[in-house]
Amino acid sequence: MTATPILPSGVLPVATAIDLVQVTAAETAQVQAVFDASEDFAMLVDGFPAPPDEAEKLLAKVPPGSDPGDKAVMLVRLGTANIGVLDVVRDWPQRRTWMIGLLVLVPAARSRGVGARVLATVDRWAIESGAEKLRIAVAPANIRGLRFWRRHGFSPVDVSRSGPHRLERPVIGF
């Protein structure tokens, strides 16, 4: 079954489960379609739309000192619709800390509880894998994103006046 690349504007299908599906090189176009549908996010954090090779770059990029096998890029699916992209690196920047490198949702999926459901899934996955903390870096211009992460218990760490806001919280056990 082929997933729908994006949701039509303003439409959120009824489904009970949010699925996270690990991406391989074969799904790069589906990730890129989410980036293209989320142009407002790229404009907010980067000042320009996502380039046509953004998905390929995301799959290839790993933080310094981390192992490529510790990185997972996931499509966020609701039913058959690809509604977001999640990037997670385990044991970075330190052991038992998972870095959420990116969580972007298409506009039609925002402010509907989808992000919270994705985060709950990441919590379950992280705790089952022995993680103790989750970390995120939020671009200063992304005020809504910063509010989301703070609302879900993330607190500032490594506070600096410039660069992204770095937030962290313990993994919530289930």
State how many domains the chain has: 1
- Encode pLDDT of 38-70 as tens digits: 999 999 999 999 999 999 999 999 999 888 999
Domain assignment present for residue 6? The answer is no
Domain assignment present for residue 13? The answer is no
How many other C-beta atoms are found inside a 10 Å radius of the C-beta of residue 29?
9
Contact between 94 and 19 (Cβ < 8 Å)? no
Domain assignment present for residue 5? The answer is no
Place of tokens 């690349």: 5
For 62, the domain range is 18-170
Q: Tell me what pLDDT residue 158 has.
A: 74
CATH number at residue 57: 3.40.630.30
Domain assignment present for residue 118? The answer is yes
pTM, rounded to two decimals: 0.87
* Burial of 137: CB neighbours in 10 Å, binned 0-12, 13-18, 19+: middle
- Encode pLDDT of 78-121 as tens digits: 888 899 999 999 999 999 999 999 999 999 888 888 999 999 99
**pLDDT band at residue 172 under the 50/70/90 scheme:** confident
Domain assignment present for residue 10? The answer is no
Domain assignment present for residue 39? The answer is yes
Domain assignment present for residue 80? The answer is yes
- Encode pLDDT of 13-34 as tens digits: 444 578 899 998 899 999 999 9
